[in-house]
Every structure is written in structure tokens, then in C-alpha cells.
Amino acid sequence: MIELKRDILSVLDMKDDFEQILNEALKMKSGQKKTQKKDPLKGKVLGMVFEKPSLRTRMSFEVGMTQLGGSAIYISPNEVQIGKRESVSDVANVLSRYVDVIMYRAFSNQVMRELAKHASVPVINGLDDMEHPCQCAADLLTVLEKKKALKGLQMVYVGDGNNVCNSLLLGCALVGMNMRAATPKSHRPDKDIVTKAEEIAKNTGAKIELMSNPFHACDGADVVYTDTWISMGQEAEKAEREALFLPYQVNDKLTEKANKDWLFLHCLPAHRDMEVSTAVIDGPHSVVFDQAENRMHAQKAILLAALSK
């Protein structure tokens, strides 16, 4: 009998237990969760493959795996060069002989899926050009922690309709949270993901909206979220992107019609006085460092879900 493995490459790979994963993460963070045995991942090894460097991804996965009793090995961009020094399938097969689970932080969703196809151990998406599912779990964990519930809240994403925005659309739809994505028309989120989010939302009662006016989007917001305008690999577009996205800066004026107790989220690293004003990110509505910490708690729950038998 072939033993099936659980890959978590998309938020959709958690569609059947997403809220359970969030609640497990919250319980572990608060100390309420008593695992059936101490060190549930004792003896397990996580291989962390990075094509893009990240402070939060490396630290949260490595510390989280250690807290669960396992160990983690960091593989830098220069050590593998997937598809260049070695084929994707060869890397997947070799890593599967050494580790129990792979976290891959990649440039390409296509390569992410190819690696998962050839790996015999679970693969977790640490980021690619289509989605950022672990970030989405941490984001909604943060909102759940602060607001005590998710269903019916209004999430507003402002800026570039990128991988973070894509995953948020799916995550919000799954938990019944309304989401508006305010982006330039030229930088809307992925059409297929929007369609999937809308289909899910029909069953959960969530409302998915795309728009270009960020002021209209922030009216009545419970959560306002933004991300960097210039991701790794887009440096040549810096001047063009800054000019295009300047009207989407999250500042006091943009958020003046948000609900009184609105939260500000940013996946970091942030560029103060670019996509967000210093007053907002360092202000009373900002929970970005709780959000950063929650990467670890969410990923611990994801690791347990991926490795549970």
C-alpha cells in the first residue's frame, strides 16, 4: 500500500482543517495546548531550502521545529541552485532520503509543485510567486488572537496584488471573512485564485471585492494590510513601481474611515514612509511584531498537520 503524504503548497491544501490549524496554533501559543506526548516531532528533521533569503521564515521554522522536539537544517541559495546545478527531481529525491519534511522558499510556483511531485516527504510552501500560505495562516492567527473571531470581519489589502494577497483571498474566503483587494488595475491578484476565492465565499458567507480606490476600500475596515511594493527580483522596476503605488500608501488619511479598533498588518520587511507611513506602522493599530511572532506558532501547527499520521 502506498502511503500518501500531505503537501501544503497552497492555502487550499488546508481547506478541510484551516480553522483547526489556526486554533491549534493559538492554543500552543497560549499554553493551553498539551500535546499527547512531549516533543511530538522528536527525531524528525526539517530541510529548509531557500532560493530567497528571509529572516522570519528561517527563524520561525527553525525555532518552531526545535520547540516541537525536532531539528532543522538550513540550505542556502548557493548550496542547491535547483534546476541549475541539479534537476528539480534529483534534488527532491535526494532530500527525501535525508529529511522528514521539506520547507521550500522559491521563486517559481511551477518549480515548487515539481519538487513536491518528486519528493516522497511532505513539502511546505515557504513562499513562491503565486502564494504564501504560511504567512496567511500567521496573518489570520493574529486577527483571531486580537479579535477573538474571524467570520464577518472586513479585511482590506492595499497595494500590489501579489502572492500574499492571493493567499489572503483564499484564507479569508475559507473562514468567512470579507476581503477587499485595492490595487491598480494592472496589478490585480491572480484571476484563477480570485475565482476560487469567490466560489469558496459562496459557501462561507464571505464577500470578495476587487477595486482600485484604496480610500473606498478602507471604509469600515477591521484590518488593513499592505506589503512591499518591490519584491526580490523587481529592483529594476523600483522607480516605476513607487510612482504607481504611491496613492496606495497606508497612512492616517487613508485609514481615517476604518473602524475604531482596526488592526494594521504587514508581512515585513517594511519600508517606512513608502508602502506604510511611520506613524501607522509604529502606531497603536499596528500588530506587525505579534504577526511576525505568529509565523512560528502557525508553522508549528502546519508542521504537525503535515507530519501527523
Q: Which three cell numbers stand for residue 52?
A: 530567497
Left if phi > 0, otherwise alpha if psi is -120 to 50, otherwise beta: which for 94?
A: alpha
pLDDT recorded at residue 34: 62
Confidence of residue 3 (pLDDT cuts 50, 70, 90): low
What CA–CA distance (Å, rounded) separates 225 from 213? Answer: 15
CA dist 197 to 169, 178, 193, Å? 6, 11, 6
136 carries an active-site annotation? no
Q: Kindly give, in sequence order, each residue whose CB lies less than 8 Å from that of residue 217, ignoring residues fewer than 6 positions away.
A: 156, 158, 180, 181, 182, 209, 211
222 carries an active-site annotation? no
- What global pTM score does this model have? 0.96
Q: Which of 100, 267, 285, 299 is catalytic?
A: 267
Query: Per residue in 176-209, pLDDT tens?
Result: 999 999 999 999 999 999 999 999 999 999 999 9
Q: Which of 165, 227, 291, 297 is catalytic?
A: 227
| Domains annotated on the chain, with CATH | 11-132+295-307 (3.40.50.1370), 135-291 (3.40.50.1370)
Specify the 3-state DSSP secondary structure of 148.
coil
Maximum pairwise Cα distance, the chain: 60
187 carries an active-site annotation? no
Q: Kindly give, in sequence order, each residue whose CB lies less than 8 Å from that of residue 218, ignoring residues fewer than 6 positions away.
A: 156, 158, 182, 224, 254, 255, 257, 258
Helix (H) or strand (E) holding 305: helix 288-307
pLDDT recorded at residue 237: 84
What CA–CA distance (Å, rounded) separates 16 from 24? Answer: 14
6 carries an active-site annotation? no
With beta carbons less than 8 A apart as the criterion, state whether 193 and 209 touch: no
35, pLDDT greater than 60 = no
Confidence of residue 31 (pLDDT cuts 50, 70, 90): confident
With beta carbons less than 8 A apart as the criterion, state whether 248 and 288 touch: no
218 carries an active-site annotation? no
128 carries an active-site annotation? no
Percent of the chain surpassing pLDDT 70: 97
Q: How many residues does the chain have?
A: 309
